[in-house]
Amino acid sequence: MNTAHRFLAVAALACGAAFVPGPAAFADSHTPKGAGTTPASDYAEGEVRRIDKEAGKITLKHGPIANLDMTAMSMVFRAKDPAMLDQVKVGDKVRFRADKIQGALTITEIQPAK
């Protein structure tokens, strides 16, 4: 293979590789909803201090929340689905996932710790 052919072969491979989607591009399309895909490292630990079902809010004394780059503290969170507040009670140790949704810190998943 001469130099020009090698160059074209390398260029074609480089261009082709640039257009091949990586695994992240397919993650949502191949993962069934509700399949428990949240990694354990994305959960935080805490204790329920207060529940305000009427306002859809919960106060947690929590450890670090890695995905929010937040240190341990006590604070109020909005519940994404207020029905999830029925799963816990004041004093419960919990595992939860929180995200910032429309500017508000929001609990998206919560369960009693085992």
pLDDT tens readout for residues 24-69: 444 444 434 444 555 666 899 999 999 999 999 999 999 999 999 9
- Over range 11-21, report the average pLDDT: 48
Q: Which helix (H) or strand (E) holds 16?
A: helix 3-18
pTM for this entry? 0.65
| Euclidean distance between CA atoms 56 and 48, whole angstroms | 14
Q: Judge contact between 77 and 60, C-beta under 8 A.
A: yes
Structurally, the chain folds into a number of domains equal to 1
pLDDT of 86 strictly over 90: yes
The reply to whether 13 falls in a domain is no
- In CATH, what number is assigned to the domain containing residue 69? 2.40.50.320
- Range(s) of the domain holding residue 59: 40-112
| Euclidean distance between CA atoms 51 and 82, whole angstroms | 10
